[in-house]
């Protein structure tokens, strides 16, 4: 069974969003997503200063089994990129809720209402 953390928001594309403060969030992929992918061998991330547009691709994760696009769960400006994942992509498998991809200053915090809480996400992945 996949680990699902309370207090995070989840997208249908299996990204999670953790609200830090002042409309700043971290974005990563869920435990379910990393398990489905298998061993992650490469992470392609955007640049600091890039804009995320909700519903659009912002990077990719490649594993021994497949490549998968990262889909922005919210819109905003990327204020930090987790460069550690470029050299150590396996961290996505080891601890998916610590291995965030980007830190984003959201344009509109109301977009969080379009995402699922942990209970709804649990139902989503159990179907």
User: What does the pLDDT profile of the chain (127 residues) look like in tens digits?
Assistant: 689 999 999 999 999 999 999 899 999 999 999 999 999 999 999 999 999 999 999 999 999 999 999 999 999 999 999 999 999 999 999 999 999 999 999 999 999 999 999 999 999 999 7
Output Rg (C-alpha) for the chain, integer angstroms: 13
Contact yes or no for 75/51 (Cβ under 8 A): yes
Place of tokens 């969030």: 25
Are the C-beta atoms of residues 28 and 110 closer than 8 Å to each other?
Answer: no
State how beta strands 57-63 and 67-71 pair: antiparallel
Q: What is the DSSP string of 19-70?
A: EEETTEEEEEE-HHHHHHH-SEEEEE---TTPEE-TTSEEEEEEESS-EEEE
Q: What is the pTM of this model?
A: 0.96
Would you state the pLDDT for residue 103? 98
The full set of domains in the chain, from first to last, is 9-106 (2.40.50.100)
State how far the Cα of 79 lies from the Cα of 45, in Å rounded to an integer: 13
């Amino acid at each position: 069974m996949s680990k699902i953390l309370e207090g995070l928001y989840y997208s249908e594309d299996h990204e999670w969003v953790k609200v830090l403060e002042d409309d700043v969030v971290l974005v990563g992929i869920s435990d379910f997503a990393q398990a489905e992918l298998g061993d992650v061998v490469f992470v392609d991330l955007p640049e600091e200063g890039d804009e995320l547009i909700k519903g659009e691709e912002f990077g990719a994760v490649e594993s021994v089994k497949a490549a998968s696009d990262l889909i922005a769960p919210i819109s905003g400006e990327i204020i930090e990129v987790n460069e550690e994942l470029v050299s150590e992509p396996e961290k996505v498998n080891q601890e998916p809720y610590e291995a965030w991809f980007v830190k984003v200053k959201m344009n509109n915090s109301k977009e969080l209402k379009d995402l699922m809480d942990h209970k709804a996400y649990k139902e989503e992945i159990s179907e």
